[in-house]
Structure 1
Amino acid sequence: MTAASVAPLLHGLPDRLPGLCAVYEDLHAHPELSFQEFRTAGVVADRLREQGWEVTEGVGGTGVVGVLSNGAGPVVLLRADMDGLPVKEATGLPYASHETAVDDEGNEVPVMHACGHDMHVTCLLGATAQLAAAGAKWRGTVVAVFQPAEEIGGAPAMIEDGFLERFPRADVCLGQHVSPAPVGFVGTRPGPVMAASDSLRVRLFGRGGHGSTPETAVDPVVMAAAVVMRLQTVVSREVGASQTAVVTVGSIHAGTKENIIPDTADLRINIRSTTPAVRKRVLAAVERIVRAEAAASGAPKDPEITGINSFPVTVNDDRATSAVLTAIAEVLGGERVFTLPQTLTGSEDFGVFGTALAVPSVFWHFGGADPALFQHINPATLLTDGLPGTIPANHSPYFAPVPEPTIRTGVTTLLAAAAHWLCPEDGHTVDRRET
């Protein structure tokens, strides 16, 4: 595929951008928690219908699926996720979120699009609009998936809701994620591209008492502190230097008052790994440490360890990834497209679609940060040196992609990747054997 192949799909995009920016700002100002994306789903469904797509709502809870058939040809799945996070926004933007919601434990929490899913929705809506307007320039079927609850595993919910039987079977699955890299740059890699993720809920049991007489109690706060500190040794002492894993205690709650020793302490732990062997080793180490620290503290009851969610490693098909990188480079320029040197420690459930369908999938990252933040940084060094701590990353209360030209880039990359299958230059149909 050359840039000329995708050009007809991009025709008129500049005129569409002001409206897409308005959509983005609206979605950013009104984020919703996982499986609560009712307003967002309504916006998506209305716009897809206006564009002429066949629309199904309520897939996997709050998911929306649009189907546009345009003659014989490959079936291409394009996916965006819709949910926000329980984060209080601190960007100061005029369209910043002031929303709150009730989480799955009954707590009122602030809500923010701190991971860029509003950008993903906007870019896919831009791509669907372009495809609908350029029907004479491509052949095949596009399945546009607006997925709920990526943060807690919404893709399996859509599969369990009959996705495979209800919609055209894709020949390839394509998805993307905005990142804190300079806007206009794109990166991915063949093979494992994002880590597996396992989240655990741990409850430690003590024996409550008065803060003045700790000898009469078993303090779960001290127990929890010991667990947290000991868990820091898992990666540093049980995972090889050439291997990759991350263990994070993202939440710890105990007690109600400074002079009362509580009965319990609750922790939430997240584990990232890139191979099955490392995953097994780290999970076993975490459980061993939790139980050992409880025993060492004289806990009156064994701790409770329960899984919250689990995502597999996201794996890109080699040949399909090569095709996507080439297609995007033809449009953006080869100097803006990079092959990532290693698997990212972030996680995704996007790969569930390709695995369930038994077809190739490709997932890439596109920059959304103001280039001015990188004036003294070589973008290529980000691949090896990582992100400077001064630049807000995903899940930060300060994370805020620059609307333009991030939206333009995100729409362009989706269309360029899809065009490899939908707009073959020699006019023959591309099937899954050719990916």
Structure 2
Amino acid sequence: MADLFPDSLPASTADEPRPDAPLADRLRPRSLSEVVGQEHLTGPEGAIGRMVAAGKLSSMILWGPPGTGKTSIARLLADAVGMRFASISAVFSGVADLRKAFAEADKAAAAGQRTLLFVDEIHRFNRAQQDGFLPFVERGTVTLVGATTENPSFELNAALLSRAQVLILHRLDAAALGLLLDKAEELEGPLPLTPEAREALVASADGDGRFLLNQAETLYAAKIGSDGSGPLDPAALGSFLQRRVAVYDKDREGHYNLISAWHKALRGSDPDAALYYMARMLVAGEEPLFVLRRLVRAAVEDIGLADPQALVQCLAAKDAYDFLGSPEGELAIVQACLYCATAPKSNAAYKAQKAAWQSAKETGSLMPPRSILNAPTGLMKDIGYGKGYAYDHDADDGFSGADYWPDEMERQTFYAPVERGFEREVRKRLEYWAKLRAERRGGE
């Protein structure tokens, strides 16, 4: 529902909004060419532009952040190709509303009128409700245009996705948001802002056009500067208006996107980028203990024995946060993040785990060599348990070179330490032991 322009008005561009309507409503585009920031879709070479030029629409899912024009595009699409426009919201609608919408579309089709059915927040319908669209889309009763802020591949079922194009709307950039402010000033007059404050206002919108226009309307309503006090600078603007809260649903795609970006920045040894993405999560309300759990995972997956202290640092940060609480304890999380980002990297332990697990699944229940099995009973000694075991501490260099693998298996190599950090020393040890093993096994 949080689109750039409201969906309460008829689709026809001939209908003018009321003079007292919200600024965003009065500035709603009258044609697809007036939609800002989505030219990759609405332009002549865009998917929507091509469909309109051909005069035939296919069903589509409009996926994008709030305030980027999804509802406006749907309304204007119906106008552009002469279709009847019908709209429902998955937040407020149920099965009865869907049946009514489809029945009305059937009647319109019988009269020769095609229907564009716009479904806002379509991801909020459950899988069974989504399946209910399929027969009506397949036989052409409606052309479905769904709008969602969530990743369709996670939230919509495959059958529905196979019948609709997914079109991605971009977060509005500074140029697009500036164009919206230009339109507002053409209608309402100059905003009472210094150039720097105007830039700060655009930045505060975080890509949401509706939020930006609502902020501008607040400034106009307050009649800032009418008392001769002059325009607001960035500091004064910040004390007067609120920033838009960053989009971050803890169980949605924004959450997973930031986690992915943060983990890859840690892995890529970019401490500043890692700190930035971690700050994004924590400022948006992520649980610090979740962040710490992900740091521990990075320490064992991407650093491992290249720097064994990384895991120690992360667990110490967890203890420090438990001890200090927020906000003081967050500095310990920062320290652990920076340590991991600047540590030498190795995924040798991670790869070794994968290979060893796979081998264990494939080899089943192979017995270890009898020489390394305990023999607590006389019978077990009689059948050879423990016979010939070489006690490593009695061998030269504390290394016997014995074969510890099942008789039916060749020796495997799962762990291959890298030439970085502490693993360089581990590698030297393994190479030395391999040399001794070859010498001593060869001499038997």
Q: TM-score, normalised by structure 1?
A: 0.20
Question: Which one has more relative contact order, counting CA pairs under 8 Å at least 6 apart?
Answer: 1
Question: Which one has a bigger Cα radius of gyration?
Answer: 2
- Higher helix proportion (structure 1 or 2): 2
Q: TM-score, normalised by structure 2?
A: 0.19
